[in-house]
Amino acid sequence: MHIFPLPSAARGGGFISSMIRWFIMVAIYDICIGGIANILGVSRMVACFIFLGILLLITFIGYIIRQKMSPPADQ
């Protein structure tokens, strides 16, 4: 089981491109967590939990919007 979806073979994706993609994602997450830690003046562990909470909140809002936009099954 892969954490991130593998790129399509038609696009020429391979092991190296998936590694580069993974490192870019880790760098972006590190910048976000480091920024939260610097702005709020908290440790990186607390900033990590805040970041995860923000992602959870975005996911929950998306779920609520999707439920409101989708038609009921009994129609």
pTM of the model: 0.65
pLDDT of residue 71: 76
Contacting residues for 36 by C-beta, under 8 A, at least 6 apart? 42, 47, 50, 51
Distance CA 10, CA 29 (A): 28
- At 36-54, the pLDDT tens digits run 999 999 999 999 999 999 9
Spans in the chain with pLDDT lower than 70 = 1-13, 73-75
pLDDT of residue 59: 96
